[in-house]
Structure 1
């Protein structure tokens, strides 16, 4: 019995950090997020944000090239993926767990949820490399696609044409 409880506790501890979340800094205006981690080059100006992990931020030149439309989103993605792939995803994940301690890491930056943002690319990178499930904070019915957060359309049991009485 003791052995099975120890195994169960070990298993539960492993599951605790199987989910990381992402969010925009504005989430901090209305929510307490003790595991908030800035992955932005710029400061957030939120006092409750205690952790930073700048290695996940795109380099300044890459960000400026996108903002000034010198490169398009597709080129940004390919160059940023090269930058991310220089990191060891497992080590980064372990660093984030150590950084936030008992709290779930929530990777944050300035980018709005509905516009192109590199935090969605970071989430994809973790999902692909470590088989983690990463959701946007308070947006469970969304998925990521090429740097965007897209609402998941729930399939309907009924076609609208079938609902018409005629």
Structure 2
């Protein structure tokens, strides 16, 4: 399930628009106009306007939220996971992708 503004060309899955951050928020952060703390605060305000139970029902119990950020970058998917964990008292596990080894 994608909650990103843009998707890789190979992605043909579903998206969940209520969790997609506003384009201007992403742009302002990427251009250094706002800090990570400001980004996080603004995105968390977006989450507070949503009903976490409804989001969980909409996504489905086995949903996987995709992230396209490299390690160490701010990740709104992780902010969503923390919000769901706090509001619903659930655990949202991380799944770490590993680049395949090239065999010659």
CA deviation vs aligned residue, 1:39-81 (integer Å, no higher than 9, x gap): 101123224x421112111101110110011100001111111
Which structure 1 segments of 5+ residues have no match?
A: 1-36, 98-102, 140-166
Cα distance in 2 between the residues matched to 1:131 and 1:112: 28
The number of equivalent residue pairs is 97
Matched, 1:125 2:83: yes
TM-score, length-normalised on structure 1? 0.54
Matched, 1:51 2:9: no
Rg comparison, structure with higher value: 1
CA deviation vs aligned residue, 1:7-53 (integer Å, no higher than 9, x gap): xxxxxxxxxxxxxxxxxxxxxxxxxxxxxx01101123224x42111
Matched, 1:135 2:99: no
Q: Which residue is equivalent to 2:25?
A: 62
Q: Displacement of 1:119 after TM fit?
A: 0.9
Query: Residues 107 and 119 of structure 1 are in contact (CA less than 8 Å); yes or no, is this contact kept in structure 2?
Result: yes
Cα distance in 2 between the residues matched to 1:91 and 1:64: 28
* Residue correspondence of structure 1 range 6-155 to structure 2 within 5 A: 37-47=1-11, 49-97=12-60, 104-138=62-96
CA RMSD of aligned residues (A): 1.7
TM-score, length-normalised on structure 2? 0.84
Cα distance in 1 between the residues matched to 2:71 and 2:89: 22
